[in-house]
Amino acid sequence: MNLSEELLAARDAIRQHALDFGLDFFETYFEVLDFDQLNEIASYGGFPTRYPHWRFGMQHEEMMKGYQYGLSKIYELVINNDPCYAYLMKSNSFLDQKLVMAHVYGHSDFFKNNMWFAGTNRKMMDQMANHGTRIRRMVDRFGHERVEAFLDACLSLENLIDVHGKAIVRARPSTEDEIEQEELEASSKVHRIPGREYMDRFLNPPGYIEAQRKKIEEAVQRKKRFPAEPVRDVLAFLIENAPLARWERDILTIVREEAVYFAPQAMTKIMNEGWASYWHSRIMTERALTDAEIVDFADRHSGTLATRPGSINPYKLGIELYRDIEDRWNRGRFGKEWEEEDDHEKKMSWDTGASLGRAKIFEVRKIHNDVTFIDSFLTEEFCEAQKLFVHQRNERTGQSEVAGRDFRAVKAELLSALTNRGQPIIEVVDANHANRGELYLVHRHEGRDLKLDWAHETLRNLYFVWRRPVNIETILDGAGRLLTFDGEKTVARDIRPSGV
């Protein structure tokens, strides 16, 4: 830690203010860096000891250009770790540093208490250093080009994980012994309604018995399939089943571990940034600002919340939704009685003095992610107040235009963009397709078609890892399509969706 005495005093004061407001955060360490140092760490995702890769170099160059041309500036960088690490830019003003510290304590509280971060590695700073050491050793042993080529393929697949894997226990495949036992016992599993023998043909007619037997046989056949049930965590499936060398399996495991670590941040972007913005606003305006800093703070804060037309600012949407929830629960504007009230004037003046707002936003911070946050608390009144709308591109002018302000359309568009972090949902349904060892995937179509050029590159890289042809079933322009990469080219053909 290299904070000046002035910054140390500010940190201690802001930390105490955060505790007084009820925030519960990891011990947080701040480091002051110049732009070059901060830009380098940011390009590695906040982990300076991460493994080397050209992708991080590209991010570094992009950040450098953005800063040089005045297009972007890094104010803070905070890491989900215990203890929590945060970086301050040396060139920022004292007011900026105070604002960033207050913002960071909000993030640290969110990391520690939000349930979607509960399964993340709280010692990831050390783990990233371990990953970097392992990959550097592989480069020394197997050569830079060979390791980088495989790492490139793995990184292109890093979104093919099960983001709910920590919260949902998926069914495990049956062993061969279990399958054989189920086949032997299939007939005895047919449920018969008990009764006297002479009533059996009425209580258990042949059609009923045959239907029961057919259901059992279908269940047995499903368990024979490998995998027995669709697998959403494609990377985990490849780690366990792809014909990889030990070092290749190690790289794929590293990529998946890091993807799982970063996933909750993408799943809670609106909530996390909104929570940190809410608390930096409260701490600064109520406790930490001097009279001389008010105007400059208002300028910084408004810049953080500024929203370009046709886009969503997670800071703005998040903070306003928390404020709306707090206000509604303080006034008692929730529950059956509120929902069923039809009198507009009565609703406008509704205030039961419930004063439950603060407790409610802490509860929301704990259990929700962006999808459930928007689904549960985005109201028609909020949409109108925030002037939210659906936009689309005008093909004639090339400009983005307002397509509608209907509340249901706005909410549906937001939820669609946030579901599975905006990524397509892909599952492995057969690892021995056509009895040729081919991988068969299914795209769970949620109203948006796959981008064909991206799908082609994904299939190419899956082939690189699986070493056999890879198929993906999807829907394009309303019709079933099967895309197959055979090692040389991608072939598309019409199919009837399997509904697996």
Judge whether 457 and 426 are in contact, CB under 8 Å. no
Whole-structure pTM value: 0.86
Instruction: Check whether 171 has a pLDDT greater than 60.
Output: no
Spatial neighbors of 221 by CB under 8 A, at least 6 apart, are none
- Burial code of 242-266, b = ≥16 C-beta within 10 A, e = fewer? bebeebbbbbbbbbbbbbbbbbbbb
Lowest mean pLDDT among 65-74, 116-125, 136-145: 65-74
pLDDT confidence of residue 358: 97
pLDDT in tens, 172-181: 444 554 555 5
pLDDT digits (tens, 9 = 90+) for 278-297: 999 999 999 999 999 999 99
pLDDT at 466 over 90: yes
Chain segment 64-82, per-residue pLDDT in tens? 888 777 766 667 899 999 9
> What value does the mean pLDDT take over residues 343-359?
93
Angle of helix 5-20 versus helix 94-113 axis, rounded to 10: 40
Domain annotation for the chain: domains and CATH numbers? 5-114+268-295 (1.10.10), 125-169+231-266 (no CATH), 176-224 (no CATH), 307-419 (no CATH), 424-494 (no CATH)
Question: Mean pLDDT across the stretch 146-170?
Answer: 86
Other Cβ atoms closer than 10 A to 433: 17
Q: How far is CA 391 from CA 311, 317, 319, 410, in A?
A: 9, 17, 22, 9
- Give the pLDDT confidence score for residue 499 in this predicted structure: 62
Question: Worst-scoring range by mean pLDDT, 169-173, 283-287, 307-311, 338-342?
Answer: 169-173
Phi, psi of 76 (to 5 degrees): -150, 155
**pLDDT confidence of residue 187:** 47
Which pair of structure tokens corresponds to residue 55?
């992708």
Residue 224, pLDDT score: 62
Mean pLDDT of 95-120: 96
pLDDT reading at 10 higher than 80: yes
What percentage of the chain reaches a pLDDT higher than 90?
66
Per the prediction, the chain carries an average pLDDT of 88
